[in-house]
Amino acid sequence: MKESYQNEMFDYLDKMGIENFVGVPDSTLKKFIQQGINKKKIIIASREEEAIGIAAGMLLAKSPSLVFMQNAGFANSISTITSLIQLYKFPLIFLIGWRGYLKNDAPEHYKIGKIQPGLLKIINLDHKVIQNNNWKKICDWALEKTKKNKSCALVVPREFLD
Amino acid sequence: MIRKEAIEILMEKISMDPIVSANGFISRDLFNVHDKKTNFYMIGSMGLASSIGLGIAIKKPKKKVFVFDGDGNILMNLGSLTTIGKLQPKNFIHIVLDNSIHESTGGQPTASDTIKIEKIAKSCNYKQVLKVNNKKDILKKLKSIKNNMGPIMIIVKIKKGGSAGNRISTSPNKIKEQFINNL
């Protein structure tokens, strides 16, 4: 996802009422996160599960929230997602940077990256993959989900190597 | 003093403030001792009580937010203490019921018999860290807490024992909805 779109996406979600952006940094999402840091709206947690817990607390205070993380951290968090977010029906948006999307990404991402779509499917977390030209439509889809008290995931593939 | 007795004493003073209680026997005891709509009983997601409490405390700065944690629970999410220490929620009161065992899973040992949780909390910039082991001291320390003094940790040393309370009969979705509506 192009860097300029990431800035626009942050600003759009902010404008549409997401009040908290809590997570663990990921290079795929770095422009999105930087835009949030510039606007003083980001909380960096020590681990993804912690971020999910903080966001759940904010939702208990009726404050709309999003968590961001890399897909490796998402995999770490599956039990928390099923036994907290899904069990209690929290309307949380997950923004997930997807490593291992490219076949020649770093080796530690290969196996977990390959099963990322399958992991989302098997825990029944509704998701959509963001490409450059569809981010706004997909954000609107996610915002609609939260209004219906449902969680969902937005997945951003890493389409570059460094 | 066993866990249930400690919770009974705590609830003499806390009564209406919001509480996030750790999964396992802690939530079950709280449910049986003093069920109320502003108790968020965790069922799963072990370790995250302090994180959930932090999220509430940040968004509701005028309310005193209590977390009922256990030693096993807190040791599972020590990173949370660094985030709490960094964000400094003044209305955050972290109660740790410490029996040095994972009682809900059969009494296996935790590291809190040798590692001092109070030292970790102090290193993480908790403003006050208190340790108590009897009824009189619990009541005295709770009485001394005013608003805007946190983050505070009160470690309550308890003995193992006591039967497991009844399971929480409120559905998870209802636990959440009634908490939101009564916060």
Contact (CB<8Å) B80/A56: no
Q: Which residues of A touch B43 (CB under 8 A)?
A: 83, 87
Nearest CB partner across the interface for B54, out of A44, A54, A88: A54
Contact (CB<8Å) B55/A46: no
With CA atoms as reference, the chain A residue closest to B83 would be A45
With CA atoms as reference, the chain A residue closest to B178 would be A60
Q: Which residues of A touch B57 (CB under 8 A)?
A: 57
The pLDDT of residue B125: 98
With CA atoms as reference, the chain A residue closest to B56 would be A57
The pLDDT of residue B85: 98
Contact (CB<8Å) A50/B77: yes
pLDDT tens, N- to C-terminus, chain B (183 residues): 999 999 999 999 998 999 999 999 999 999 999 999 999 999 999 999 999 999 999 999 999 999 999 999 999 999 999 999 999 999 999 999 999 999 888 899 999 999 999 999 999 999 999 999 999 999 999 988 876 799 999 999 999 988 888 999 999 999 999 999 999
CATH number for the segment(s) A3-157: 3.40.50.970
The pLDDT of residue A68: 98
Interface residue A84 vs chain B (CB under 8 A): yes
Quickly list DSSP for B127-169: SEEEEE-SHHHHHHHHHH--TT--SEEEEEE-BS--PPPPPP-
Q: Which value, to the nearest 10 degrees, does the dihedral of the CA atoms of residues B79, B81, B83, B87 take?
A: 180
> What tens digit of pLDDT does each residue of A95-141 get?
999 999 888 888 889 999 999 999 999 999 999 999 888 999 999 99
Interface residue B181 vs chain A (CB under 8 A): no
Nearest CB partner across the interface for A50, out of B20, B51, B173: B51
Please name the residues between 81 and 100 in chain B that touch chain A, using a CB distance below 8 Å: 82-83, 87
Pairing of strands A65-70, A93-98: parallel
Domain limits of chain A? Answer: 3-157
Which of A47, A59, A84, A92 to mutate to test binding with chain B, by most B CBs within 10 Å of its CB?
Answer: A84
The pLDDT of residue B15: 81
Interface residue B80 vs chain A (CB under 8 A): yes
The pLDDT of residue A89: 98
The pLDDT of residue B136: 95
> Rounded to a whole number, what is the distance in Å from the CA of B138 to chain A's nearest CA?
26
The pLDDT of residue A1: 85
Instruction: Report whether B160 contacts B109 (CB < 8 A).
Output: no
Q: What are the structural domains of chain B?
A: 3-182 (3.40.50.970)
> What tens digit of pLDDT does each residue of A58-74 get?
999 999 999 999 999 99
The pLDDT of residue B147: 67
Which of B20, B75, B77, B83 to mutate to test binding with chain A, by most A CBs within 10 Å of its CB?
Answer: B83
DSSP letter (8 states) at residue A43: E
Contact (CB<8Å) A52/B48: yes
CA–CA separation, B100 and B112 (whole Å): 5
CA–CA separation, A60 and B93 (whole Å): 17
Instruction: Report whether B172 contacts A87 (CB < 8 A).
Output: yes
User: For chain A, how far is it from start to end, CA to CA, in angstroms?
Assistant: 15
